[in-house]
Structure 1
Amino acid sequence: MQKLKKIVAEFYQRYEGDPILVQSPGRVNLIGEHTDYNDGFVLPAAIDKHIFLALAENESNRGRFYAIDPGETFEADISGQLSKSGKGWPDYLLGVVDQLRRHGYDPGGFDCVFGGNIPIGAGLSSSAALEGGMLFGLSRLFEWEIPPVEMAKMAQKAENDFVGVQCGIMDQFVSLNGKKDHAMKLDCRSLEYEFYPLKRRDIHIVLCDTRIRRELASSEYNVRRSQCEEGVRILQQHEPGINSLREVSPELLNRHGQKMDPVVFKRCTYILEENKRVQDACRDLEENDIHAFGQRMYASHTGLRDQYEVSCAELDILVDAARTIDGVLGARMMGGGFGGCTINLVEDRYLDSFKERISQRYQKITGQPIAIYQAKISAGTQLVDLPKAKTDKEL
């Protein structure tokens, strides 16, 4: 891969020593949206779009970073109190170093060159891949034994506490721990996880990006979260032991739902139904019933549109179009909502016609183009072999 070769060549040009090379994947979430902060279930998968990092120790107390894609460098003393860079991208790396030190790990100076092929801003979690890749790489470089669950928690905290983005743990968890050709069912309460095979090798995951980025997503995210919490508070009056919607049965919700604002009741209903959809979807994968799985994806989108109300016209256009195109097994919006991507399961033999037809349909209705990305399910973060050559000419 040219990107990987360029990263290695840049490292040898800028720094000394032989680096280790880390490959850290982006992710998709097949089903289970907005369930994470309700202690529910999600079903993500790592994909074959990656951040690559070349890392080596240096004989100093400094972290020296080079980002291939913006072509920028950053350097900082990492032996003392760390502060934000003012540049954005270095904070994801500094945040990892900060978390390591808070957990008793003391990295010495190191050099890092990184870049990748994860589309930025498409909801494929390039930031989580970068954080997880840096954490995994440093643990290997300095020979620390950090359990996988702890590593995911540290990567999440790096983004929460240092970068300042209040993300959940799903992205970092599956990026670090994903398995090739398998989706991961993650229990967001216990952080227990298990894998379910996607046995159909003739299927591509296709992301259709509306290219719409709406500020409404962050503010409405907080509103949805507070509405779910309000539903829990009302139910706690009848069942004091309840701490989240994860612990609420449909019978309990229906019995006391009339005491809620109708909107709050709708939000809670969606969460309960989506958690069940995730569990049913796992059974579909076990039984290799990909058609049933796809129907649950469509049902998830309907719930997100009508009950949770986080979709938008552009996302609905893409899902409605996907329903009518040959070879599409399932589709739904993915992510926080109000823009971003739909995720589609498409049979390989229909891949080209799907991309052409959905692009034409969207352009005809909205007057705007979409971006399309295709992926396969891959393994989680891992070391990869270094190319033997050390210069661009040799590579």
Structure 2
Amino acid sequence: MENVISQHKKEFEELPQVIVEVPGTCTLMGSYADACKGWSVVGTDISTLFVAISQRDDQMVRLTNATLNDRKRFSLSNIKFRKEDRWGNYIKGVIGILAADGVALTGMNVTVEGPLLVSDNQMVSSAIAMGVCMALNELLDLKMSFSSIIRVIYQANTTFNNELCKISDLLTMLNGKRGKVLFFDLQHLTFQELAFPFTDASEEYVALIVDSKISPNAMREEIASKRRAIEVAFSRLKELKPGGFIRDFPEGDLSARVVPLDEDSRHICEYILMESRLTRDSALLLNEKDAIPYGKVMVRIQTGLRDLLEVSCPEVDWLTKRSSELTGCLGAVLITNGFSGNVMILLSKQALPSYISRLEDYEHIFGFHPRWYIYEGGGSAKVVFPNHT
């Protein structure tokens, strides 16, 4: 927090009145389950960003991104999307929605700072919008409920910015707890809090996240293209299902080619329905702290990602294959946390040193120095200044 305070003071020659810290989210399983409104398991993660705000006595809004060393500005009388404003549009969107709701606004100085700002657009847009909305709620004493905050953010990101925005991510940011994950039923937008048993406090197994450090754009375009294909595939599948929830479509009808889908669409639907079902099963395994079958679920999902959905890269394949060669490694799967090529490895504490030593070979082969940490689950988005506790 000290860094965002000093950056705000340096840029605007005043201290911020409100600071909000927002964590990123990590989808452990069910990254694509929104396509069939299935199930997902999501927790907050270690990367965060800060939003600092102070009021001005005019109608200007000045923005600085201390992490990217970038600046933007606009007037409250002219809140328009401009492609060249990039991250600044995520702040504009929230301010624009609040203004349309009748909130009386004055000019303001806004500083954003933190490692989460170099993640993908979906994560950055959600986190910045969350921070700005919560900061204005505090600054202007708007007394907004969680549901009102989520509505403003979702509308700002989808309508104003035309960005993909997941309600489950926003709920996770607001409800995240250390050592906990949220199990979502995306059809009904409900969630259940689960203890995540594979943290450093575990006596036997830990969940290691390895950041492959590949280029941020290495998989983003591929995944964006795949999401467009997913939308097309499920629109076709919905036409073939007479009623009920699409997540309940019989997987056997797809594998047996009973339904008239092209091969690419069939593979996509087959994978996502399987991923969703396996994610639902994994929630029970987490409750029971049953590491071995949970690891097998991770392997099945990763195999489907690679072979059916065809979302992978050589670096990810190397990291997952090396884990399968070690005694004590139970499974590995590509996760979604805003950064390209992050893999979760479930392994025994005894196997941990052996796997970490193999990461030296990874650096020699690919030229990237991977970062790793044991997943613990983070906290929730919160006002950190002023501190009301």
TM-score (norm 1): 0.83
Alignment of 1:268 onto 2:265: no
Alignment of 1:207 onto 2:210: yes
Stretch of structure 1 that moved more, 252-261 or 83-92: 252-261
**Other structure's SS at 1:383 match:** strand
Trace 1:154-165 onto structure 2 (pairs within 5 A). Answer: 154-165=152-163
**CA offset at residue 196 of structure 1?**
0.7
Verify the 8 A CA contact 1:148 1:177 in the aligned structure 2.
no
**CA offset at residue 302 of structure 1?**
1.1
Q: Which consecutive residues of structure 1, in runs of 5 or more, have no partner in the other structure?
A: 388-395
**CA offset at residue 372 of structure 1?**
2.0
Report Cα offsets for 1:301-352 as digits up to 9, x if no partner.
Answer: 1111222222233322221112234664432123499x63323345667656
Verify the 8 A CA contact 1:51 1:129 in the aligned structure 2.
yes
Residue in structure 1 matched with residue 298 of structure 2 by the alignment: 297
**Other structure's SS at 1:343 match:** strand
Alignment of 1:194 onto 2:200: no
Residue in structure 1 matched with residue 229 of structure 2 by the alignment: 223
Cα distance in 2 between the residues matched to 1:85 and 1:378: 32
**CA offset at residue 93 of structure 1?**
1.1
Cα distance in 2 between the residues matched to 1:324 and 1:314: 16
Cα distance in 2 between the residues matched to 1:320 and 1:86: 41
- Which amino acid in the other structure matches residue 376 of structure 2? K
**Other structure's SS at 2:192 match:** strand
Verify the 8 A CA contact 1:217 1:336 in the aligned structure 2.
no
Change (3 A) 1:317 1:19: same
Trace 1:27-106 onto structure 2 (pairs within 5 A). Answer: 27-84=25-82, 86-106=84-104
Change (3 A) 1:128 1:336: closer
Change (3 A) 1:355 1:167: farther
**CA offset at residue 37 of structure 1?**
2.5
TM-score (norm 2): 0.84
Report Cα offsets for 1:258-288 as digits up to 9, x if no partner.
Answer: 4333443332222222112111111111112
**Other structure's SS at 1:125 match:** helix
**CA offset at residue 154 of structure 1?**
2.9
**CA offset at residue 33 of structure 1?**
2.2
Residue in structure 2 matched with residue 390 of structure 1 by the alignment: none
Change (3 A) 1:195 1:253: same
Verify the 8 A CA contact 1:122 1:209 in the aligned structure 2.
no
Change (3 A) 1:103 1:290: farther
Residue in structure 2 matched with residue 129 of structure 1 by the alignment: 127
Verify the 8 A CA contact 1:43 1:184 in the aligned structure 2.
yes
The two structures, once aligned, show a CA RMSD in angstroms of: 3.0
Verify the 8 A CA contact 2:26 2:336 in the aligned structure 1.
no
Q: Which consecutive residues of structure 2, in runs of 5 or more, have no partner in the other structure?
A: 201-205
Change (3 A) 1:64 1:312: same
Stretch of structure 1 that moved more, 184-193 or 351-360: 351-360
Change (3 A) 1:208 1:142: same
Change (3 A) 1:362 1:41: farther
**Other structure's SS at 2:258 match:** helix
Cα distance in 2 between the residues matched to 1:291 and 1:122: 32
Cα distance in 1 between the residues matched to 2:353 and 2:116: 21
Alignment of 1:331 onto 2:325: no
Verify the 8 A CA contact 2:40 2:279 in the aligned structure 1.
yes
Residue in structure 1 matched with residue 288 of structure 2 by the alignment: 287
Verify the 8 A CA contact 2:211 2:342 in the aligned structure 1.
yes
**CA offset at residue 385 of structure 1?**
4.4
Change (3 A) 1:309 1:71: closer
Which of the numbers 9, 12, 28 marks the counterpart of 2:9?
12
Trace 1:112-123 onto structure 2 (pairs within 5 A). Answer: 112-118=110-116, 120-121=118-119
Aligned pairs, number: 376
Verify the 8 A CA contact 1:355 1:372 in the aligned structure 2.
no
Report Cα offsets for 1:20-65 as digits up to 9, x if no partner.
Answer: 2211001211111211122122111101221012223332222222
**CA offset at residue 226 of structure 1?**
0.8
